[in-house]
Structure formats: C-alpha cells, structure tokens
C-alpha cells in the first residue's frame, strides 16, 4: 500500500499550519475525507439536490437511484445477503439504540457486554437496568487486556436475550474473537449486536460468515461524511424490532387511530435522510474497496509496530494493554508520567502540529475501573506514513525528556 500516493487525495494534509504540515493521528475519532468523497457530496448539491422517495421528478428519481446503489454497495461491503438488510441512520449510536430499545427487553431479561463498551452501548443498558429491570452483565477482560471467552460464557444463560458488544475497542484497538462470541451467544438463544464503529474502517467484515444478527457503523470513521451511519439487521429480525422513531417516510399509510409501517429497511429511516451523506458514503466505500481492507489492516499494524518499538519500555511512558501491537490495529494509547493526557495532546498540537485525542474517549467505565484519568490516543490510518510515525515517537520522547519526569 502506497500511503504517500494515497495522502495526495486528502487535500487538508497538503495545507501548512503555521509553516508546518499537519500530522493527523486522530483517525479513530474521525478519518479525513479524500477528494473523491467531497466531490461526490458537491455533485449532489450541484446536480440533483432533492429528496428520495417523495417527489417523482428527475432530481428526486436520481437521488432515489443513487441511494439504492449505495445501499447495495454497503450490503456488499459488509457481506449482507440483501440490500434490504441495510438501513441508513445518523450514526452508530442510532443503530445501537434501535436494537437495544427496539427489542422490547423487560424485567427478567439479561444483556451481556464487555467492560470497555462505548457509552453508546453502556448508557442505554444502564437506562434499561434502571427503568425496566433488565439485568446488565459485564464480561471482564483478561489481565492482558484481551477478551476472556471463558469469563464471557460463564455469564451466559437462557435468560440472556442480547449480547451487545464492541467488536473493536476505541480505547485499545483490540478486536475480540467475533465468530466465537456469536457461536457461544447463539448456543444460549441470545442475539448479537456488534458495535463496529471502530472495526469497520480497518478490517474486512462479513456479517453472514460471522452470523451476527445486528451491526452498526459510522461513515465518518470510514473516510465518509459525518452524520451518516450504517445499520445492518439480519432479514428475519427486522419485523421484531420497534423503530426508534416514527413519522414521515417510515409509514405507508395512517388512519385516525392506526398506522402501517413500511417494510425494512425504510421503517428504520424515518424523516428526511442525509442524502448528500449517503452519496458520499458510496464514494467512501468505493475508495476503501479500491485499497483493500486487508491492506488497510496490515498498514495500520505495521505503523503500530513501529510506534511500539520506538516507545515500549521507555521510563515514564505507559502503553495501554494489550502489549502486542498486532492486537491493536492502528490505535496506540498511552500516558506520560508527569503530564495529563490533555497536556500531552495540547503540547504536541501547539508545538508540532501532531493531532491526537485525549481523555476518556466516551468509555468512562474502562478508565474508572482501572483508576485512570484517561489517556492520549494516537491512531494511524491509510494516509499516515512511516515519517509521520517517526516524527510522532521522536516528539513524544522529547516531551518525556523535557516535561515528563521520566522514571
């Protein structure tokens, strides 16, 4: 994979800030967008700026056809059996909430998740536990930061209706053994929902091969636009889910005292859709597919190995587990003794134009359980080069020597 060639598609990476080019290492929060995506979005506004599924004029027809095409691309990208299994949402959070609140979970039902869930899973489950009496069970990680299959299976029973679980951690980059998790959950009669926000940009996902029932991801982490999510619902499961919202476009007819929902996936797409975002998502899927998801995965791992080799074992620097960089994809989370995570991120930004994320990354329970105030997180992607990584590790080492009270 030629990262130097790829980065030429990302206009912002060629623009100096204060006389220096940016080193963007915050792709786990949001990837940059190539010109192919921004051009597709502009084309929508310049050439056919209308709504799908409403009017019958030429603009509207073009939008409908484009949306159908992108839905088919998304189905192929994620290995779905049919485009009708793909709905467009605002983001991953909406897809996750659609399942968690749409299954009609009630007192006596149990849900299992990990101890490193994003708040988009954790908060809805806490809400259901507090308001509906649903039992929320947490599978604890192994000491080395990996997923403990034995601990997970010990939590399973016939009362577990849903396993709502993070496929790839946005804190550590670790990807759990997905097929084994699905197999164990299904053996107890539970359904499986994958939060794939962090996995979808970096690995090949085939929902049919995995056997997963539901999956949610976001375009903004996949070189696509913000405000657009992808929600997969296995065909026969859609009719048992209550949509998160009701209103325009999601129904075929209404009477004074009744309404009839549209068939899936449209029943999950109530209200005006982000049509420019859908078009942009199609361009992003084409872009990632042209590179190859296996190539992306290996590129991230190669850069992570380079970061780890340079900084592992240095006094004053703590790298979050798992220690093996091959298990962390493109995410390198760390703390520097003597400085807060926000200090690290702000100093590197202001002095070097190195852009990281700092804090608890919407995963507060992970840090509270480990008595940590957060971490700095560098996340590499397709447009990052070895030179980026070397500049980053040299800058962190310099920061440690100057401010970090290394020990």
- Any idea how long the chain is? 407
Percent of the chain with pLDDT over 90: 94
pLDDT at 54: 81
Q: Are residues 149 and 179 in the same domain?
A: yes
Flag whether 265 is in a domain: yes
Per the listing, tokens 């954790």 go with 122
Residue 381 lies in a domain: yes
Work out the mean pLDDT of the chain and round it to a whole number: 96
Could you tell me the CA-to-CA distances from 403 to 172, 174, 357 in Å, in that order?
A: 25, 30, 19
pLDDT of residue 55: 87
The pLDDT assigned to 245 comes to 92
| Assigned token pair, 129 | 């536990």
Decide: helix, strand or coil at residue 163: strand
| Mean predicted confidence (pLDDT) in 137-150 | 96
Indicate whether 407 belongs to any domain: no
Burial of 237-267, coded b for 16+ CB within 10 Å and e otherwise, reads bbeebebbeeeebbbeeeeeeeeebbebbbb
Query: Of 290, 325, 341, which residue is a domain's last?
Result: 290
| Whether residues 297 and 286 fall in one domain | no
First to last CA, the chain: 38
Whether residue 350 is predicted with pLDDT greater than 80 in this model: the reply is: yes
Note the pLDDT of residue 95. 98
Please indicate, yes or no, whether residues 20 and 73 belong to a single structural domain of this protein: no
- Cα(15)–Cα(18) distance, rounded to whole angstroms? 10
Residue of 262 and 7 predicted with greater confidence: 7
pLDDT digits (tens, 9 = 90+) for 183-237: 999 999 999 999 999 999 999 999 999 999 999 999 999 999 999 999 999 998 9
Mean pLDDT of 23-33: 98
Contacts (Cβ under 8 Å, ≥6 apart) of 5: none
Catalytic center residues: 362
Question: For the residues 240-264, what does the mean pLDDT come to?
Answer: 91
Question: Is it the case that residue 249 has pLDDT exceeding 90?
Answer: no
In a domain, 31, yes or no: no
Verify that 111 and 207 share a domain, yes or no: yes
- Please say if the pLDDT value at position 407 is more than 60: no
Q: Kindly state whether residue 406 falls inside one of the protein's structural domains.
A: no
pLDDT category at 405 given cuts 50, 70, 90 is low
Q: Are residues 17 and 56 in the same domain?
A: no
Question: Is the link from the previous residue into 322 a cis peptide, with omega within 30 of 0?
Answer: yes
The alpha carbon dihedral of 183, 186, 190, 193 has a sign of positive
**Total domain count, the chain:** 2
Model confidence pLDDT, tens digit, residues 329-346? 999 999 999 999 999 999
Reply yes or no: is the peptide bond before residue 265 cis, omega within 30 of 0. Answer: yes
Mean pLDDT, range 316-321, rounded to an integer: 96
Count of CA atoms in the C-beta half-sphere (13 A) of 131: 9
Boundary (domain end) residue, out of 264, 290, 316: 290
Q: Are 271 and 347 within one domain?
A: no
pLDDT in tens, 87-133: 999 999 999 999 999 999 999 999 999 999 999 999 999 999 999 99
Quick: pLDDT tens for 365-399: 999 999 999 999 999 999 999 999 999 999 999 99
- Do residues 7 and 89 both lie within one domain? no
Contact 193, 162 (CB under 8 A): yes
Res. 166: pLDDT tops 80 = yes
Tell me the residue range of the domain where 11 lies. Answer: 3-25+293-401
Q: Which of 290, 325, 349 is the last residue of a domain?
A: 290
Question: In this predicted structure, what is the pLDDT of residue 404?
Answer: 62
Domain-embedded: residue 32: no
pLDDT in tens, 225-241: 999 999 999 998 998 89
Do 242 and 140 belong to one domain?
A: yes
Percent of the chain with pLDDT over 70: 99
Query: Is residue 179 located within the same domain as residue 318?
Result: no
| DSSP conformation class of 235 | G
pLDDT at position 136 is: 98
Closest CA to 166 of 197, 123, 142, 206: 197
In a shared domain, residues 210 and 233: yes
Q: Residue 369 is part of a domain; what is its CATH number?
A: 3.90.1150.10
Q: Are residues 202 and 257 in the same domain?
A: yes
> Can you give 104-132 as a three-state secondary structure string?
CCCCCCEEEEECCCCHHHHHHHHHHHHHH
Strand 357-359 relative to strand 229-233: parallel, antiparallel, unpaired? unpaired
pLDDT in tens, 41-67: 999 999 999 999 888 899 999 999 999
């Amino acid at each position: 994979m030629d990262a130097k060639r790829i980065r030429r598609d990302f206009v912002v990476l060629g623009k100096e800030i204060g006389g220096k080019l940016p080193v963007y290492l915050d792709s786990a929060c949001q990837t940059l967008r190539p010109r192919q995506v921004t051009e597709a979005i502009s084309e929508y506004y310049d050439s056919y700026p209308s709504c799908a599924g409403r009017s019958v004029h030429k603009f509207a027809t073009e939008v409908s056809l484009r949306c159908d095409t992108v839905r088919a691309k998304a189905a192929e990208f994620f290995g779905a059996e049919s485009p009708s299994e793909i709905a467009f949402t605002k983001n991953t959070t909406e897809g996750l909430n659609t399942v968690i609140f749409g299954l009609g979970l009630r007192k006596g039902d149990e849900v299992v998740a990990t101890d490193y869930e994003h708040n988009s899973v954790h908060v809805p489950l806490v809400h259901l536990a507090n308001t509906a009496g649903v039992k929320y069970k947490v599978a604890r990680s192994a000491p080395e930061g990996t997923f403990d299959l034995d601990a997970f299976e010990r939590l399973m029973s016939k009362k577990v209706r849903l396993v709502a679980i993070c496929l790839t951690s946005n804190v550590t980059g670790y990807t759990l053994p997905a097929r084994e998790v699905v197999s164990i959950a299904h053996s107890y009669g539970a359904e499986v929902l994958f939060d794939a926000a962090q996995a979808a940009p970096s690995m090949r996902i085939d929902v049919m091969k995995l056997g997963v029932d539901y999956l949610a991801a976001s375009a903004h982490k996949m070189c696509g636009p913000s405000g657009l999510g992808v929600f997969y619902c296995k065909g026969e499961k859609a009719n048992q889910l209550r949509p998160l919202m009701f209103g325009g476009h999601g129904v075929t007819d209404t009477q004074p005292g009744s309404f009839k929902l549209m068939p899936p996936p449209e029943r999950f797409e109530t209200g005006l859709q982000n049509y420019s975002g859908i078009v942009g998502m199609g361009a992003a899927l084409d872009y990632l597919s042209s590179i190859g998801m296996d190539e992306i995965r290996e590129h991230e791992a190669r850069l992570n190995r380079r970061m780890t080799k340079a900084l592992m074992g240095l006094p004053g620097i703590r790298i979050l587990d798992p220690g093996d960089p091959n298990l962390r994809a493109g995410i390198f989370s760390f703390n520097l003794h003597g400085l807060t995570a926000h200090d690290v991120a702000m100093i590197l930004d202001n002095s070097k134009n190195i852009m990281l994320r700092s804090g608890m990354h919407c995963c507060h329970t992970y840090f509270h359980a480990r008595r940590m105030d957060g971490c700095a997180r560098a996340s590499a992607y397709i447009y990052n080069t070895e030179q980026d990584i070397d500049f980053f590790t040299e800058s962190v080492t310099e920061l440690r020597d100057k401010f970090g009270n290394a020990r």
